[in-house]
Amino acid sequence: IVIVCKAAVAWEPNKPLKMEEIQVAPPQADEVRIKIVATAVCHSDLYHLLENRNTDGFPTVLGHEAAGVVESVGEGVTEFQPGDKVIPVFLSQCGECRFCKSPKTNQCVTAWTRIHQDLMASVESRLSCNGKRLHQFMGTSTFSEYTVVHQTAVAKIDPNAPLDKVCLIGCGISTGYGAAVNTAKVEPGSTCAVFGLGAVGLAAVMGCKSAGAERIIAVDIIADKFEKAKVFGATDFVNPKDHDRPINQVLADMTSGGVDYSIECAGKVEVMRSALESCVGSWGVSVIVGWTDVCDVAVRPGQLVAGRTWKGSVFGGKVGIPGMVQAYLDKKLKLDEFITHKMTLDQVNDAIDLMKQCKCIRTVLTVCQQ
């Protein structure tokens, strides 16, 4: 049957979301319908709403960092059943292609065939409002009480997991943590720099700490963030506004020539270049994590030929959602410390404003009662 429920709809860019009564169709073959219990606001939601220049991606239901409970399943779904606790993911994994079978990547061959990347929305949509089709943002659309997701984009998690905490694993925490551990492959005793101290950057700091880095330099233009960064393992803080020379020169002086690893989590092309140039020239590894698709990034070849490596990371590589949840339950992964605000779905615009003003790390919205 069709479910009628509440959702926050983005009818057009740069405008507040509007709470609407929407229709959620039954799951079709290989699909899972999920009751969303908790969802967080991520900068990628803001990017689509405020920065993406393609207006064809509207109307849409945003949200992609969430956790919930399976309500029903479509034909052919055997791995999930009603009542399972799950995390929907924007990067699906078929488990069969050569990429899924490789330990080197999480870039499933079929994942991006189900997503219009220019629209940041799935090809199929089971959501509608007053007869008008709504895009499903990144195939998930978790700013809704119910959503429908392809079974390859759902991860079953421990039934004891608190959904209002582990929802963060659906994007930001996995992205930052995995960038350090899986993509950069930070080594024990190394020196790292993390640029941008939002949730993703703080998770990268946590990943560096977990990997055994001896020195972790947190870089941000908001000085208040250092106290939070220390909680996750940062040893030093550098505010570029405090210096009258390029930040890469500052870090080079602090580290006898540059850091071993730098992780960019700001989504700004000028920061991407600074992060690269902050690495030691002979072996430094710099990882781009922050997302933007509106500007080119440029660097002189001389910054690379001596031995630097420049890499990108999406969703933290092979992080393994159930394993991340278990690490939290085993107290080996911090999540509670990222949550600065708790609200309800109908307060989503307030949550967006907090993020726009850099006044939160993560705001978790209660959507449905479990």
Q: Among 44, 174, 190, 313, which one carries the catalytic annotation?
A: 44
Q: What are 220's two structure tokens?
A: 């941000």
The reply to whether 42 belongs to the active site is yes
Residue 186 CA neighbour count, 13 Å, CB half:
33
Q: Among 5, 42, 265, 368, which one carries the catalytic annotation?
A: 42
Q: Do the beta carbons of residue 66 and residue 88 sit within 8 Å?
A: yes
Q: Among 5, 167, 171, 192, which one carries the catalytic annotation?
A: 171
| Distance of alpha carbon 174 from alpha carbon 180, whole angstroms | 10
| Sign of the torsion formed by the C-alpha atoms of 133, 134, 137 and 143 | negative
CB within 8 Å of 300: residues ≥ 6 apart: none
Question: Where does residue 300 rank: exposed (0-12), middle (13-18), buried (19+ CB within 10 A)?
Answer: exposed
| Distance of alpha carbon 316 from alpha carbon 327, whole angstroms | 15
Q: Among 48, 135, 150, 341, which one carries the catalytic annotation?
A: 48
The reply to whether 135 belongs to the active site is no
The reply to whether 313 belongs to the active site is no
Is the bond preceding residue 301 a cis peptide, omega within 30 degrees?
no
Look at residue 264 and give its three-state secondary structure: strand
Between helices 269-277 and 247-254, what is the axis angle to 10°?
30
The reply to whether 150 belongs to the active site is no
| Distance of alpha carbon 21 from alpha carbon 23, whole angstroms | 7
| Distance of alpha carbon 213 from alpha carbon 262, whole angstroms | 12
The reply to whether 279 belongs to the active site is no
| Distance of alpha carbon 208 from alpha carbon 180, whole angstroms | 6
Residues in the chain: 370
Active site residues: 42, 44, 48, 64, 171
